[in-house]
Amino acid sequence: MIDIEHLSVSYGAVQALNDVSFSVAPGQITAVLGANGAGKTTLLRTISSLVHPRSGSIRLGNTELTQLAVEDVTMAGVAHVPEGRGVIAELTVDENLRLGVLWKRGNHRPAIAEMYELFPPLAERRHQHASNLSGGERQMLALARALVAKPKVLLLDEPSLGLAPLVTQELMATIKDLTVREDLTVVLVEQNARGALSIAAHAVVLYLGQVVMAADAATVASDAHLRQYYLGMAER
């Protein structure tokens, strides 16, 4: 569904991505892994057109995303949940969800009701301000706000950051379930390589802005060299 070809991105003299090429299969999770500074966040920001590449192509089906404005990428079916969850603390849960469909016409109540069914803790707190939610609940809200508009592609940047291990485990299970329930394509950026590889079908490993490996997740997880030198996964 997403084809990335020869993508290069620079911030002044600093090259964040260098000739990156890989494909993201539809209806599956592709994990993008690597150490800090590998270019993972830049990759997501470039897909969603928050950053414009120096060269290269990003195609969603037949649509070239690098030529579109941010709002047009959203309308093409791409939702981006940035690192830090990005909910508006001063608004209620319900108000945050309504923001997710502000640009769409029609009756949004069924879509919002579906999010409450998918994330029951949010239903219980729909009239509370997001500032009163736990870290896990804020991540649920960030996901729900992205999903309420029925995207084709979900970009997730470090969704487990700052969460307790049990909450992280539950979150990863929810993300995997979403690909089946919503026929959703997910690009998952994660420092938690073990958790990401446990739910992903494919994985891309970045190092200093370049692709070190792109393969099925099981192959990446079984490569001892990658685990040690690029993913920081300690042996058990």
**pLDDT 10s digit of each residue in the chain, 236 long?**
899 999 999 999 999 999 999 999 999 999 999 988 899 999 999 999 999 999 999 999 999 999 899 999 999 999 999 987 678 999 999 999 999 888 777 778 899 999 999 899 999 999 999 999 998 899 889 999 999 999 999 999 999 888 888 888 888 898 899 898 888 999 999 888 889 999 999 999 999 999 999 999 999 999 888 877 677 665 54
Measure the CA angle with vertex 221, ends 215 and 223; round to 5°. Answer: 85
Would you say residue 143 lies in a domain? Answer: no
Domain extent at residue 225? 2-89+151-229
Would you say residue 63 lies in a domain? Answer: yes
Q: Which two tokens stand for residue 146?
A: 């992205």
Work out how many domains the chain is built from and give that number.
1
Residue 17: strand, helix, or coil: strand
Which pairing describes strands 63-64 and 78-81: parallel, antiparallel, or unpaired?
Answer: unpaired
Would you say residue 96 lies in a domain? Answer: no
pTM of the model: 0.91
Does residue 64 contact residue 4 with C-beta atoms inside 8 Å?
Answer: no
Would you say residue 129 lies in a domain? Answer: no
- pLDDT at 116 (0 to 100): 95
Measure the CA angle with vertex 106, ends 104 and 108; round to 5°. Answer: 80
Does residue 130 contact residue 165 with C-beta atoms inside 8 Å?
Answer: no
Q: Which two tokens stand for residue 136?
A: 């896990």
Residue with tokens 């999903």: 147
Q: Which two tokens stand for residue 196?
A: 């990401």
- pLDDT at 236 (0 to 100): 47
| Cα 128 to Cα 104: distance, rounded to the nearest angstrom | 24
CATH of the domain at 17: 3.40.50.300
Strand residues in the chain grouped as ranges (E): 2-11, 14-24, 29-33, 55-60, 63-64, 78-81, 153-157, 185-189, 202-207, 210-216
Give the CA count within 13 Å in the CB-facing half-sphere of 227: 16
CA distances from 95 to 41, 100, 129, 179 (A): 27, 9, 9, 25
